[in-house]
Amino acid sequence: MARNYEYKEVNLSDLILDDENPRFASSVLVQDSTTKISQDAIISHLLQYADIIKLANRINSVQELHGSELITCYKRYDGYVVLEGNRRTCACKLLLDRMLIPDDYKSNFPFIKDETKENIGKILVIVYPNRESVQAYLSDRHITGVKRWSALEKNNYYMNLFQTYGDVSRVQEFTSDTIGTIKKSIRKYQFFMDVFRVLESRYNNIEIEKIDYLPMVDRFMDILVGNDSDIGLNLHFDEITQRYSCEKNKLKKYNEILMLVGEAFLLRKEKKNCKDSELSKIISTEIYRMVDQKELIIKDERIPGLIDLIKEYKNLVMPSTDNNDQSGAHQSHGSGDDHDDKVDKPNEDNTDDSDDNDDTKNGDGTDSDNNTKDKDESDEEKYMPPAKYKSKQTRKEFLSFTVDEAESFEINGNSDYESKITSLIYDLSNFSVYKHPYSCALLYRTLLEISTRLVYERCASSVGRLYNENDLVGNMKYLNNNFLFISKTGKDIPKLKESIKTYLNSTDIIQILNLYIHYPNPVDEQILLSTWNSMKFYIQACLEKSK
């Protein structure tokens, strides 16, 4: 099976900073979640929050980008959009073109060395065909992997996917999280956005990166929007949009409530920075239990005036319509977004992450109320075209051989070499690269070396040269070019040899593995998995020749 990406050398000027990256929280949140933002805005954001000057100094010092982690991108009509490596791309762009540096940062930004300019004008990248094809990799890396997004960035990521595909089940294809967890993340994000937009009407330049997002949406949101008789707002919840909303006539009061809540959780100073009479920011330990949350509101000390606003909200009467049918009343989200959705019975919010508790549907996925309504409206049989179905791809996570591949080399463990190789293959087959990335990198590197040594040990006369203790890559290149595949036939052999040669030369897989083992470089699991597809055939050929 052909891999879904390619390695390509591209001009740095052709790389585009990702205008949908969840890390760019401040720049994205002031607009709609999926609205494109300018390259200048991204550069300013990264300079302010991502230590770009420090990174640029480091790149200028070593005069190149390290080969241990390649920039990942996809081809778009206007260039290559960077999905992994925006900080490095930004630093290099500013080094090469000082016109891109905002005036406030120019005096502190390093001037590029000639050697650096020569090495970063063109760089090797991994190119995927589109954004969708790399979403699973980004999810593995930033949600369950070593470079995790913050809670806000993760929820922003899910919200972007939800707005793109309009279906939580499609979002779930790109992550190991359950549908229940994804829905809860989207709910939290949209509630936060309602609060943020209300705050934005009064406060300028809110820095999202300095906000502790979780206490409000993890501990406080549920009781506020729920149906508690004393303090719950009994908000309507739309299962399709995954969003809470209030009746239109209550919107002004609802926004006043969101303003108080947002100020208390997001904008106040920490206690250590407050003066004696100044109210500090509310933190998780104050509202750990539901009883604590309710008590905080009713006591009216930590968020003065909130309980009165809640009572006023609950006492507002929905205006009657001409036909005395309230089902046509408008629903509104916080901050003044009006929507003509009909008012259903308020959702009794259940925030359990379980998939089973999130949907109240018939077995065929439709609402029972809607089924009855449809039958009343028309007796005609509807034409329903088959829904598009995209099977979920199984994520590969082990560096292993197939049974057929293993039969070709038949290791019996009768020597120290074979015992070690057997143990290495066994461990690699059982260790997930996502759960044990450093162990897999070490085992992978060891298996490549011991397999190479075995050939030079057992086939010395046929190989025609001795093993060079100081040049593993040279030893491997020689075997690949002059020995391992000489007697093999088949149309794929030249392509396979070239692929192995590329990984030994351009990608320099041995150097990458050495960096993972000897230095604090984080492991790129995708590099392990992608190179294994070719390098395992190098190992297989070594073991076949050594039988």
Average confidence (pLDDT) per 10 residues, the chain, 547 residues: 76 89 56 62 86 90 81 87 90 94 92 92 88 65 53 78 82 79 88 88 78 81 91 91 90 94 90 88 87 92 94 82 48 57 38 41 43 47 52 67 83 80 92 91 95 92 89 92 86 86 83 85 83 90 88
Handedness of CA 178, 179, 182, 188 (dihedral sign): negative
Report residue 511 as tokens. 């150097």
Q: How far apart are CA 452 and CA 431, in angstroms?
A: 23
pTM of the full structure: 0.44
The confidence score (pLDDT) of residue 423 equals 92
Report whether 443 contacts 535 (CB < 8 A): no
DSSP state for residue 292 in the 8-state scheme: H
Based on C-alpha coordinates, what's the Rg of the chain? 29
Region of residue 439 (left: phi > 0; alpha: psi -120 to 50; beta: else): alpha
The confidence score (pLDDT) of residue 352 equals 41
The confidence score (pLDDT) of residue 148 equals 56
The confidence score (pLDDT) of residue 369 equals 44
Report residue 385 as tokens. 């075209």
The confidence score (pLDDT) of residue 385 equals 56
* 265 class by beta-carbon count within 10 Å (0-12 exposed, 13-18 middle, 19+ buried): buried
Residue keyed to tokens 């051989």:
401
The confidence score (pLDDT) of residue 178 equals 85
Kind plus residue range of the DSSP H or E element containing 163: helix 151-165
**What's 51-105 look like in SS3?**
CHHHHHHHHHHHCCCCCCCCEEEEEECCEEEEEECHHHHHHHHHHHCHHHCCHHH
Report whether 180 contacts 354 (CB < 8 A): yes
The confidence score (pLDDT) of residue 370 equals 45
Q: How far apart are CA 237 and CA 349, in angstroms?
A: 8
The confidence score (pLDDT) of residue 516 equals 85
Kind plus residue range of the DSSP H or E element containing 254: helix 251-262
How distant, in Å, are the alpha carbons of 13, 184, 433, 470, 535 from that of 145?
Answer: 30, 21, 10, 34, 24
The confidence score (pLDDT) of residue 254 equals 94
Q: Enumerate the domain spans of the chain.
A: 6-145, 211-349, 403-545
The confidence score (pLDDT) of residue 356 equals 40
Q: How far apart are CA 19 and CA 24, in angstroms?
A: 8
Report residue 36 as tokens. 């494109």
